[in-house]
Amino acid sequence: MVKLNKLFFPSISKWISTTLLLLNLAILVATQGGKGGNWELLLKNSGVVAMHMALTHHNTVLIFDQTEAGRSGYPLRKHLCSVDSTKSFCWAHSIEYNIATNSIRPLTLKTDTWCSSGAFLSNGTLLQTGGHGNGYRKVRYFRPCSDYRCDWIESKASLSDNRWYASNQILPEKDRVIIVGGRKAFTYEFVPKSSPNEGSFELPFLRHTNNQHEEGDNLYPFLHLSSDGNLFVFANRDSILFDYNKGKVIKTFPRMPGSGSRNYPSTGSSVMLPLHHADGFRKVEIMVCGGAVSGAYMAAKERDFLKGLSTCGRIVITGKNSNWLMEQMPEPRLLNDMLVLPTGDILVINGAKQGDAGWNNAENPSLTPYLYKPMKKLGKRFSILKSTNIARMYHSSAILLPDGRVLVAGSNPNVRYTFSRVAFPTELRLQAFVPYYMGQFFDNKRASNLSITHQNDKIGVVYGEKFGVRFELGRKPSKVIDFHAYAPPFATHSNSMNQRMLKLRCNSLVRGNGGEFTATLVAPPSSKVAPSGYYLLTVVNGGIPSKAQWVRFVHE
């Protein structure tokens, strides 16, 4: 048969080859850069450096830095301030970015939020704590609104200790947040207080992990709420499982192998891998990547930028035996962000290859993101994605957007906003990294027109309750279709506080007319598994995620 084709139809082989080549080229173009993804420039001037960034359930993004930075890129009160004024009230230091309109509006910060922390409450309000100077012990709130007239509110309540470089974690108890650590603060405390006289509580673990010669190396400790209700605390290279109600260490984990530190100012990052309904959400695994080698902070002060750490470690914090399993990233990295993508894979983005955190303490920017697939075999999990041409160094951040893109912003290694005559100028451009799964080639696999139905639309989905998800598919669904619920983080200094993903149970999937589907899902069993609040729900069909819809999990 092959001989007959060659004899009588000499052009068929050439036609097939050409068709396959064109098809491959079409796939490459349609996926917007193939598996490497693509980059979009959203705004040339966001006005404010993204030292802190958080996504609200109104599909806006809060971006803010420090009020002591003087001039920003967004002038205010032009009639009262001269162009050369560096007074804080003349310039915006916080903005709200509208994703749909690609526009910004200024917000008002009254106290300094430099290196502060945050967590979302159950109604979507951002609780924001600490900072520097007049913001050391401040508590602030931002409740997003549909008319976009809302602004920061300063609470009359104060923190018990100074909280500069502290970390926050929302707890299972409704709207209770724990705040851990900070510069010269070896304590933790709660907001709100259980009584008027409640103060802070000593946490000896923070003293034991403090490195006086390296500016602490245990600031912005990594916090993750385990599904058993205890708190995982990682600082420097050590970690514990902590019963915050009894003030008792439940378990001390082995020290993470290798030299150097993972926390500020060495500044690696951490992530909790997705929790799964198949085991009742019992298995909790933490991953820590990057950081600086021992002595990097002092060396950077002498303009000697030491190569960062290239290792990652994974540890299962539940169960009897917990040990670190180490693996290598493609290159050294610090000042990096780690995000859980809608697929359940991990994105490592931003940062530098040499140095340490601090003003002009790093060089050799990490321009190439990494994709990490947790379920692949060791040595096959990392892949290299498309590079950006914008350095995202100290005081940059990244967050996941509801449509699946990753918003990337910030970078200011300078004491004030500086745009010339420095190696890494202050960066006000706003970008989006567009992962491969958003390519048009996958549109026929992508679920669309999601809607969520449950018993009480005004309150939300009660723990353990069944609820419905309706969506459309252009063709027959893949053999594997998953439903992921994602809690967006408060991002700052490579620390994605309260980030969390759950793979939910699907009890039934029914196909209707015209490609319509109705799924019956089961909500997480408790607030220990998923603290109450707003989550992004995504349908993942054969590895391709839909755009997300907001769902709120609540106490009955």
**Which pLDDT tens digit goes with each residue over 259-316?**
999 999 999 999 999 999 999 999 999 999 999 999 999 999 999 999 999 999 999 9
pLDDT at 88: 72
Say yes or no to pLDDT of 341 above 60.
yes
Query: Which is nearest to 486 in space by CA: 454, 530, 447, 518?
Result: 530
What average pLDDT does the structure give for the chain? 92
pLDDT at 90: 87
Structure tokens at 496: 């994605």
Beta-strand pair 337-340/94-98:
unpaired
Alpha helices in 285-422 (DSSP H): 296-301
Asked if 109 and 138 touch (Cβ cutoff 8 Å), the reply is no
C-beta neighbour count of 462 within 10 angstroms: 17
Measured distance CA(52)–CA(143) in Å, rounded: 16
11 CB-contact burial (10 Å; exposed 0-12 / middle 13-18 / buried 19+): exposed
Which residues, at least 6 apart from 555, have a Cβ–Cβ distance to it below 8 Å?
174, 462, 463, 527, 532
pLDDT by residue (tens digit) across 39-52? Answer: 999 999 999 999 99
Read off the pLDDT of each residue in 309-334 and give the average, rounded to a whole number. Answer: 96
Position 319 confidence tier, pLDDT thresholds 50, 70, 90:
confident
Identity of the amino acid at 422 = V
Q: Which residues contact 234 (CB under 8 A, 6 or more apart)?
A: 221, 222, 223, 262, 263, 270, 286, 288
- Fold for 440-554, please state it: Immunoglobulin-like (2.60.40)
CA dist., res. 419 & res. 401, Å (int): 28
| pLDDT at 89 (0 to 100) | 77
> Of 59-63, 84-88, 511-515, which range is least confident?
84-88
DSSP string of 403-435, one letter each residue: TS-EEEEE---SSS---SSSSS-----EEEEE-
Q: Beta strand 269-272 with 275-276: parallel, antiparallel or unpaired?
A: unpaired
Residue 29: pLDDT above 60? no
The C-alpha atoms of residue 291 and residue 304 are separated, in whole angstroms, by: 16
Q: How would you classify the pairing of strands 346-349 and 370-372? A: antiparallel
pLDDT at 243: 98
Comparing CA positions, the residue from 489, 491, 524, 498 lying closest to residue 225 is 498
CA pair distance 540, 446, nearest whole angstrom: 8
Query: Which residues are within 8 A (CB) of 336 and not within 5 positions of it... i.e. 6 or more apart?
Result: 268, 269, 289, 290, 348, 349, 350, 351, 366, 494
Phi, psi of 340 (to 5 degrees): -85, 120
**Cα–Cα dist 503/489, whole Å:** 17
Q: What percent of the chain has pLDDT over 90?
A: 85
17 CB neighbour count, 10 Å cutoff: 10
- Give a three-class secondary structure readout of 124-188: CCEEEECCCHHHCCEEEEECCCCCCCCCCEEEEEECCCCCCCCEEEECCCCCCEEEECCCCCCEE
Give the distance from CA 262 to its chain's centroid: 17
Do the bridges between strand 370-372 and strand 382-384 make them parallel or antiparallel, or are there none, so unpaired?
A: antiparallel
Q: How confident is the model at residue 9 (pLDDT cuts 50, 70, 90)?
A: very low
Mean pLDDT of all residues in 497-511: 97
- Judge whether residue 456 has pLDDT over 90: no
Task: Say which range, 76-80, 212-216, 487-491, 542-546, has the weakest mean pLDDT.
Answer: 76-80
Residues in the chain: 556
Helices (H) and strands (E) in the chain, counts: 4, 43
Enter the CATH code of domain 35-438.
2.130.10.80
Task: With a cut of 70, say whether residue 21 has pLDDT above it.
Answer: no
Confidence of residue 476 (pLDDT cuts 50, 70, 90): confident
Give me the pLDDT at residue 320, please.
87
pLDDT, residue 477, reads 86
Mean pLDDT, rounded, for 512-535: 96
337 in Cβ contact with 351 (< 8 Å): yes
pLDDT confidence bin for 84, thresholds 50/70/90:
low
The residue ranking higher by pLDDT, 316 or 556, is 316
Q: pLDDT (tens digit, 9 = 90+) per residue, 370-401? A: 999 999 999 999 999 999 999 999 999 999 99
Q: pLDDT higher for 77 or 448? A: 448
Confidence bin at 79 (pLDDT 50/70/90): low
In three-state secondary structure terms, 252 is strand
Looking only at the bridges linking them, the beta strands covering 500-503 and 275-276 are parallel
Can you give the pLDDT at residue 454? 85
For residue range 412-434, list pLDDT tens digits in order.
999 999 999 999 999 999 999 99
pLDDT of residue 266: 98
Q: Residue 420 corresponds to which tokens in the numbers above?
A: 């010339």
pLDDT at 87: 74
Per residue in 133-183, pLDDT tens? 999 999 999 999 999 899 999 999 999 999 999 999 999 999 999 999 999
Task: Tell which residue, 241, 239, 226, 234, has the closest CA to residue 285.
Answer: 226
For residue 83, is pLDDT > 80?
A: no
pLDDT given at position 513: 85
Distant-in-sequence, close-in-space partners of 25: CB < 8 Å, separation ≥ 6: none
